[in-house]
Structure 1
Amino acid sequence: MDLFYVLPHQLDLDRGRASIGGEEFHHLARVLRCREGDTVPVTDGAGLSAELVVESIGKSELQGSIRNPRRVPPPETRVSVAMSLLKAPQRFDFFLEKATELGIDRIIPIITQRTVSTPDLKKIDRKAERWRNIVHSAARQSRRYYLPELSTPCSFQEALQLEGYDLRLIAHESEEAFGPFEPAGQCVLFFIGPEGGFSEAEIAAAAQSGVRPVSFGASVLRAETAGVFAVALVRAALLGLPGARQL
């Protein structure tokens, strides 16, 4: 069964109680036809692993008791992607879904010199809500105990100033090699440009900030494919490493 998310205000571990509403409730009650007495795996998206024994099902919410709560350690390796907003919203949605399934830790929508689709401040809340629903759905299906952080859209220059990363890489078609890559135990940040790619000025600014340009191969990837490929690179590098907690 999928892993379902309980929001902080819906969870009371001291009393051993929880409720589920919203999209999670719809999937449980309307799609899976959950019934009273059923046991549902739940998490708070911050490492909790528990079971919810369903006791009552209302019109928009179900309630129950929490059993067997424990904390799952976070991954030792974390990968973030700062990716340009894309002209076709469904392509950015695809990236959100697949990157979440692969174990991304943080998603940073950015606005570059060649970004075609810039967010309308009046619509950004609605757009962010759709993004969160996509991330939650993908995390539910892939049984992730840690939800990715979804940042507010920012400029490319602001993204270059983000701190806390051990390794920062920017994908660019002018590069011919990828170079040494050992992400295990590191916080990794990839920069992915829009449909038209990063400008030469942006690549220069990234280099001045200590970001390393890399190649993703001879063929030019679509932006959303490059974003997914970046997360998959980290995941693949961790496979087979003894004792490494996977994404």
Structure 2
Amino acid sequence: MQLEQAVAATSALTTLIAVPATLLAAHWTRRSADRAAHATALAGFDQSQAAVAAAQLHERAGREQSLEDARRSAYAEFLSAADVLVRIITKLPEVPGPARRELLDQKATAVVQARAGVAVLGPPAVLGQAEEVAEQCARLEQLALRRAVLRSAISALEEAWCPRNAEFCQDPHHTSAYLAWELLDRWGRLEEEERWEELDFLEFCLQESHALDAEQVSQVLEVANSVACWDEMIGGFLRDPLLERFQAVRGDFVDVAYGSHGLVA
């Protein structure tokens, strides 16, 4: 009887001990599961954040690339418009007089429009150099028509020279063409009084050269009455100051564009 009571008591004690152990094991199992779930959630959150950051970085890189592409296009368009204007100005003496103004206006307007694109997209350094190019283009436009009159006349007079010895030829038309050419070449260096004294002689030589028609002679005389910027308009055999300045500011613009974005050539 005592033995049975002892066994019963032992079983009860074992049961009492087993229950808390089971509860404790269950507690730690749940806690471990919670920690694992939390760690998984954190890992997922970190991955999500990384994905968002990568997407934002990719989007920003795409915007920056789009901006650079737009700048590249704007810079190239501006340079192209300026170059076309200069080519037209150099060819303008060969264009019939009535068509010169319209052609010049078209190309000068294209420069102004293209410069607006640089103003919107370009950083200050590039915009500053673009302004220099635009100003030089405006200077070229300002002198282009008078320049075309003079350079057209110079070419026509040279073609009317004596084919053998222009300076000592006795043919009146050849001699007049040479004298008119020589007068125009040094016209801007004459004193005002000298120009007034020579003006009638210049008109006579232009007419007697038979190189120009009456309208062309009238245009040359009109330009000759204003000698401001004469050397820029008439140019020279080896150097052309007006175009040299354009090439200088154009080169500065390209240098700045390369330095900031590696863009146009």
TM-score (norm 1): 0.24
**Larger-gyration structure (1/2):** 2
More strand by share: 1
Greater RCO, CA 8 A, separation 6+: 1
More helix by share: 2
